[in-house]
Homo-oligomer: A and B are copies of this chain.
Amino acid sequence: MFGIAILGATGYVGTEIIRILTQHPQVNIVAVVSRSFAGRNFSDIYPNFGKVMDMEISEINIDALCEENDIFITALPHEASNEIIPALVNKGKRVIDHSAAFRFKDKATYETWYKSAHGMEDLLELAVYGLPELYRNKIRNSQLVANPGCYPTCAILSIAPLISRKLVYNTNIIIDAASGVSGAGRKSDLAYSFCETHENFKAYGVTNHRHTPEIEQELSNLAGEEIFISFTPHLMPIKRGMMCTSYLNLKDSGLNSENLYELYCEYYKDEFFVRVLKPGTLPEVKNVAGSNFIDISVNVDKRLNRAIVLSAIDNLGKGAAGQAVQCLNIMLGLEETTGLKHPAFYL
């Protein structure tokens, strides 16, 4: 059994990590840490964990934590990250972090889109973008893994085959997306109250959502040239799950949905968590919610010679906690799917 500490354990991402790890046969939660709730039992905050995970929540005490643990998952606000992550890294600990700070190769990108100073730029070189399907080998021995954003995970994996195989033009790429409300985190905010959110649908972050440069960075890497995209997220009245609908112009007019299905199957043939759907089948959020899967369907509009790619993940699963555990398994040398082979909730 490997021990792990979770810092920022009482947000929705933290709690989902704990939900997964309580069922993980080879990982043991050694500490759950949260400033807001230190001293209380985890199952007092989340009573769904009663009798399953009743551990006392502890204060952030880096020295004490570092004596007991070698690996940490952090899901903290930026300021807290700033304080804690360098300290952990300096003590030689391994970290899987959920903030945006270490996702960018270029600190300027972070500062432009997040409109604040980075402050931990010396760690950037160390950091690996924690998308196992693209960076598995780097993740394996990494000391600092930047767990990707939910939208980037859903978007990048869904069109990576088209981009990297250079089947599409790199302009006019549109990624339209919708997410459940848990993506906004656990907070008392009128905009996310039931009455303001239920029976509603709206876009947000139009032209300036912070996940845009993250998607662009990775697509550019795959393409070998700079790619700019339109990315528009929407908020939908479900708890968890998200979908991306992407539009890309095909170079070759001879390709059909069947051809691209085969290409995707081949591209992802070793990826357990990527399910390429047969032509005529489309992803649905209920088929991935609660799981670590991404479902992808690629469709060719022959009239327009355009690929329309649909992809769905659980924003808390493959988009956050599930992916973190997948990285953790890789980093610990475990079978990558350990503790993650459950089906989605559906109901």
Contacts and interface: CB of A to CB of B under 8 A. Distances in A.
A344 B48 contact: yes
A247 B198 CA distance: 26
B16 A347 contact: yes
Interface stretch (A67-75, A79-87, A89-97, A182-190): A182-190
B247 A195 contact: no
Nearest to A301: B207
Nearest to A197: B194
A286 B200 contact: yes
Contacts of A200: 238, 241, 284-286
Contact of A188 (B176, B188, B275, B281): B188
A189 B188 contact: yes
Contact of A186 (B23, B195, B230): B195
A240 interface: yes
Contacts of A288: 48
Interface in A288-304: 288-291, 293, 295, 297, 299-304
A176 B287 contact: no
A238 B35 CA distance: 33
Interface residues of A, number: 90
Contacts of A197: 194
B239 A293 contact: no
Nearest to A201: B285
A305 B195 CA distance: 36
Contacts of A181: 193-195, 198
A237 interface: yes
A224 interface: no
A240 B347 contact: yes
A114 interface: no
Given A230-B304, A346-B48, A245 B53 contact: no
Interface of A: 12, 15-16, 19, 22-23, 46-53, 172, 174, 176, 178, 180-182, 186-190, 192-204, 206-207, 228, 230, 232, 234, 236-241, 243, 245, 247, 249, 272, 275, 277, 281-291, 293, 295, 297, 299-304, 306, 308, 310, 312, 316, 341-347
